[in-house]
Structures are given as structure tokens and as C-alpha cells.
């Protein structure tokens, strides 16, 4: 079983890509809807939540874990790998960084993400290691997650806010923009429109799904552990009728959410 988690429902964009690329594998998702957003919390708190959720997914039978959250990927990975050394983890930062590196021609890359992700400085560190000539321009975009969780995907207010966040990055002449939050693919069209047609967008959900696919193809021992054709199981820590509606919007299919208390 492939375990996937996020602070809320945004990680379902990753589930959608995984179902597209690997429809034959069983999938379990946990969205921490009771404690979302993570992007305004400290790295310590986010790490504590991530450990709790990983324990839950492993107990449910997950054999590999996909961290479908930029905020967790940029703060909690060292702790997760240390506590669960045998578990293959996939996170969204490294594949997004690699893709941006492939796409950029002028070596000016933009990043939008939650405050915690941007302030973690993880992208600066990674780019410095692989290509010190890369200039990274980062912009925290804290208003986007609540707008997306509210289903305001195409509203004029959302468009205006996206435009405002992108102005400083466009002024720097970026040719590539990393969507540094798994919620953002839901408003990819608006972001592309405001960024301008010529700028390339890096979608973390596509990149991490491709990495998982390659891993499974090259690790046949995992195939029998993961295979099945059942519907994905979607767990959340809080449930409201609106969450169900939004989850269906994210996944593009009818789903039933199950509530679970981790504490
Ligand atoms: N999807 C999460 C991320 O990628 C949302 C962050 C949040 O909960 O604030 O960072």
C-alpha cells in the first residue's frame, strides 16, 4: 500500500497523479484537516505531526510513504528518516528542484510556498549544492492555501492575490516558477495566466508521482506488497460537508472521507 499525507486536502493533487500513473496500486491518504495549515507552524510542531501520521499510515499497512506536503518535506525529513530508517520516503522538494534545474535557461528561478517552506531555506541550500549559479527568488504566499481549501479556485480575489504575489518574482526576470505547495496545482491555470505564458511552472504533484513510479518499477519486491485495484482510502482528522465537497473537487471523483483521531 502507498501511504500519502498532507496537512489537509492539498495533497490529494499528488494522489490524483499517483492514480493516473499507478492505478493498479492500493493507496491510503491522511489529511490533517483538524490541524491545517502547517505552513504557519514551527518546524518542531510540523515534525511532531509528521511522525504521528507516519506511524498511523504504517500501522494501516503502508509500505512506502509519500510526503505530499512542501511544509513537511522542507522541515521534517531528517527526523522521519532517522525514526523510520527502513521506510522508503518520497518528498516533494527534491524532485521539484531537479525539474526546475532542467527547465531553466537563464538560471533565475522563482518559488512560491508557505512561510514555513520559504523560511526553511531548503531550496537555496539544494540549488547551492547542485548549481551555485542559480538565482532563487522566493515569495511566501500564505493566503493561497485558505483560498484553495475554500474552493475559491477561479474567483477574482484569488486571481488578484496571485498576481500580487508574482509581481516581485516577474520583476527579477525568472523563467521558471516552482509551485512550492501541494495545494497550488489546483490553481495552476490562474498561476500560469498571471506568470505569463512563457514562464515554465514546476508542479510538485507530477514530479513526485514520477519518482514513485520509477522506484516501484525498479524495486519489484515492493510490487506484491502494494498491488490491488481497490479505491483509495482517504482519512482526515476532521470532517465537514465542505471538506467532502472540496476533496471531490481535488480528486475529480466521488469519494468518502473517514475520520480518525491520531492523538
Ligand atoms: N499542502 C501543504 C504544503 O504543501 C499546505 C501547507 C499548509 O498546510 O499550510 O505546504
Test site for ligand 1: of 4, 38, 250, most ligand atoms within 8 A of the Cβ:
38
Give nearest CA residue, ligand 1 atom 6: 39
Domain with CATH 3.40.50.1860 in the chain: 2-91+205-259, 93-203
Note if 69 is an active site residue.
yes
Which three cell numbers, joined as nine digits, stand for 74? 522542507
| Separation CA 158–CA 177 (nearest Å) | 18
Note if 172 is an active site residue.
no
CATH code, 2-91+205-259: 3.40.50.1860
The pLDDT of residue 108 is: 98
Catalytic choice (4, 65, 67, 69): 69
The pLDDT of residue 227 is: 62
The pLDDT of residue 138 is: 97
Residue % of the chain over a pLDDT of 70: 97
- For the chain, the three-class secondary structure string (H helix, E strand, C coil) is CEEEEECCCCCHHHHHHHHHHCCCECEEEEECCCCCCCCCCCHHHHHHHHHHHHHHHHHCCCCEEEECCHHHHCCCHHHHHHHCCCCCEEECHHHHHHHHHHHCCCCEEEEEECHHHHHHCHHHHHHHHHCCCCEEEEEECCCHHHHHHCCCCCCHHHHHHHHHHHHHHHHCCCCEEEEECCCHHHHHHHHHHHHCCCCEEECHHHHHHHHHHHHHHHCHHHHHHHECCCCCEEEECCCCHHHHHHHHHHHCCCCCEEECCCC
* 9 contacts 250 by C-beta, under 8 angstroms: yes
- Across the chain, what does the average pLDDT equal? 92
Residue ranges of the chain with per-residue pLDDT less than 70: 223-229, 263
pTM score, whole prediction: 0.92
Catalytic choice (92, 181, 186, 212): 181
Distance 144 CA to ligand 1 centre (A): 10
* pLDDT per position as a tens digit, 219-254: 877 766 666 667 789 999 999 888 888 888 888 888
Domain 93-203: CATH architecture, name and number where available: 3-Layer(aba) Sandwich (3.40)
Query: Which numbered atom of ligand 1 lies nearest the CA of 180?
Result: 4
Note if the bond before 37 is cis, omega within 30 degrees: yes
Amino acid at each position: 500500500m502507498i501511504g500519502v499525507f498532507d496537512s489537509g486536502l492539498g495533497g490529494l493533487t499528488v494522489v490524483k497523479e499517483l492514480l493516473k500513473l499507478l492505478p493498479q496500486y492500493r493507496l491510503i491518504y491522511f489529511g490533517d484537516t483538524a490541524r491545517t495549515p502547517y505552513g504557519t507552524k514551527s518546524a518542531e510542531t510540523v515534525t511532531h505531526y509528521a511522525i504521528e501520521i507516519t506511524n498511523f499510515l504504517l500501522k494501516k499497512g503502508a509500505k512506502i510513504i509519500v510526503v505530499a506536503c512542501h511544509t513537511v518535506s522542507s522541515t521534517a525529513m531528517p527526523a522521519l528518516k532517522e525514526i523510520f530508517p527502513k521506510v522508503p520516503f518520497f518528498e516533494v522538494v527534491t524532485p521539484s528542484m531537479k525539474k526546475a534545474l532542467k527547465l531553466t535557461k537563464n538560471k533565475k528561478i522563482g518559488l512560491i510556498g508557505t512561510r514555513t517552506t520559504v523560511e526553511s531555506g531548503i531550496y537555496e541550500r539544494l540549488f547551492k549544492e547542485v548549481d551555485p549559479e542559480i538565482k532563487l527568488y522566493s515569495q511566501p504566499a500564505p493566503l493561497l492555501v485558505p483560498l484553495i481549501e475554500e474552493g475559491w479556485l477561479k474567483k477574482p480575489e484569488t486571481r488578484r492575490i496571485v498576481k500580487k504575489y508574482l509581481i516581485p518574482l516577474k520583476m527579477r526576470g525568472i523563467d521558471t516558477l516552482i509551485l512550492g505547495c501541494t495545494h497550488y496545482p489546483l490553481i495552476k491555470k490562474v498561476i500560469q495566466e498571471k506568470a505569463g505564458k512563457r514562464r515554465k511552472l514546476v508542479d510538485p504533484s507530477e514530479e513526485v508521482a514520477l519518482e514513485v513510479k520509477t522506484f516501484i518499477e525498479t524495486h519489484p519486491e515492493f510490487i506484491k506488497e502494494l498491488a490491488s485495484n481497490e479505491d483509495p482510502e482517504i482519512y482526515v482528522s476532521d470532517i465537514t460537508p465542505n471538506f467532502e465537497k472540496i476533496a471531490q473537487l481535488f480528486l475529480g471523483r466521488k469519494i468518502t472521507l473517514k475520520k480518525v483521531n491520531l492523538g
